[in-house]
């Protein structure tokens, strides 16, 4: 069974970058993108990408039980579309079910994936997503309940699941992250260290630009002063964030995923 890492956090903090870095680190990784724009590139040759939305996840679920032609007729019907749109909770349950099913998949005798990494969209969405199996286990009976209870058990097991919250050390992001951490703790999921992305490091003191400085030196010092302002702001915000944390540096080329991958838990 491959472990599933849910990469979560506010928009723009670096979730997709970090999910891609984690996926490239593993031999046969599956990168699951929830609600991704299809245009995003696949990070590397060893990585398979699965774009999941609730409607296709449900269709694939049905496909395990029903003949393909029948599934197509059902999932292409207006009634089905309306049903999925009207039952967002069900959609989320199916999405989690689909992801955990992938983690358990075998090709012959070997697990199909060495790791499953999930790139999630906005903060609120992931809490809803991960809360749904427990809610469904309480709300339904019979088959749905049994399925939901199995998902709850797998989500709670650190060997199966971990949630990796990502933030940047900036005021609004930190405030939102503190709320996210509280919501995730309430769900009692295995919570990885907090990843603080794009941390600037710079000397605290940058010398003044001498009057006879060349344009290149003046530009470099201006750059250093700017970095040092960012670094100071980052340090202030880092103090508001709880341990355990892992800090990732601001890199000038995110194509260097390997650099970030090495630092990731």
Ligand X SMILES: Nc1ncnc2c1ncn2[C@@H]1O[C@H](COP(=O)(O)OP(=O)(O)O)[C@@H](O)[C@H]1O
Q: Which residues of 99-138 are buried (b: 16+ CB within 10 A; e: fewer)?
A: bbebbeeeeeeeebbebbbbbbbebeebbebbbbbbebbe
Single residue of 198, 202, 257, 264 touching ligand X by CB under 6 A: 198
Single residue of 16, 24, 123, 167 touching ligand X by CB under 6 A: 16
Minimum distance from CB of 15 to Mg ion (Å)? Answer: 5
State the Cα–Cα distance between residues 96 and 121, nearest whole angstrom.
14
Minimum distance from CB of 59 to ligand X (Å)? Answer: 26
Which residues of the shown chain bind Mg ion in the complex (CB under 5 A)?
Answer: 15-16
Q: Which does 165 bind (CB under 5 to 8 A by kind): ligand X, Mg ion, none?
A: none
Nearest CA-CA partner of 197 in 162, 153, 165, 233: 165
CA distances from 244 to 107, 121, 213, 262 (A): 36, 24, 44, 17
Q: Which does 97 bind (CB under 5 to 8 A by kind): ligand X, Mg ion, none?
A: none
Peptide bond just before 244 cis, omega within 30 deg:
yes
Residue 126 contacts residue 66 (beta carbons within 8 Å): no
Single residue of 4, 5, 8, 15 touching ligand X by CB under 6 A: 15
- Report the relative pairing of strands 245-249 and 110-111 from DSSP bridges: unpaired
Q: Which residues ranging from 219 to 258 are in contact with ligand X (CB under 6 A)?
A: 248, 250-251, 254
Minimum distance from CB of 122 to Mg ion (Å)? Answer: 10
In a 10 Å sphere around its CB, with 0-12 CB exposed, 13-18 middle and 19+ buried, how is residue 23 labelled?
Answer: buried
Stretch that binds ligand X, among 14-22, 62-70, 89-97, 129-137 (CB under 6 A): 14-22
How many amino acids of this chain bind ligand X (CB under 6 A)? 15
Stretch that binds ligand X, among 13-21, 155-163, 222-230, 237-245 (CB under 6 A): 13-21
The residue sitting closest to Mg ion, measured at its beta carbon, is 16
Residues making contact with ligand X (CB under 6 A)? 9, 11-17, 197-198, 248, 250-251, 254, 260
């Amino acid at each position: 069974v491959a472990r599933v890492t849910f990469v979560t956090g506010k928009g723009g903090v670096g979730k997709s970058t970090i999910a891609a870095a984690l996926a490239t680190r593993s031999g046969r990784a599956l990168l699951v993108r929830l609600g991704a724009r299809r245009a995003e590139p696949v990070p590397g040759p060893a990585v398979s990408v699965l774009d999941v939305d609730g409607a296709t996840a449900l269709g694939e679920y049905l496909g395990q039980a029903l003949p393909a032609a029948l599934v197509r007729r059902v999932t292409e019907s207006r009634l089905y579309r309306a049903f999925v749109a009207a039952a967002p909770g069900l959609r989320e349950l199916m999405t989690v079910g689909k992801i955990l099913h992938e983690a358990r998949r075998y090709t012959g005798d070997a697990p199909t994936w060495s790791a499953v990494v999930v790139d999630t969209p906005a903060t609120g969405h992931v809490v809803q997503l991960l809360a749904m199996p427990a809610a469904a286990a309480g709300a339904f009976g019979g088959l749905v309940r049994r399925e939901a209870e199995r998902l709850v058990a797998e989500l709670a097991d650190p060997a199966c699941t971990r949630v990796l919250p990502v933030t940047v050390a900036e005021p609004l992001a930190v405030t939102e992250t503190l709320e996210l951490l509280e919501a995730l703790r309430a769900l009692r999921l295995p919570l990885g260290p907090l990843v603080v992305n794009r941390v600037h490091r710079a000397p605290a003191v940058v010398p003044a630009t001498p009057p006879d400085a060349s344009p290149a030196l003046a530009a470099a010092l201006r750059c250093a002063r700017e970095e040092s302002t960012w670094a100071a702001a980052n340090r202030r915000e880092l103090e508001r964030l709880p341990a355990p944390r892992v800090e990732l540096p601001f890199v000038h080329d995110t194509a260097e995923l390997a650099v970030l991958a090495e630092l990731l838990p």
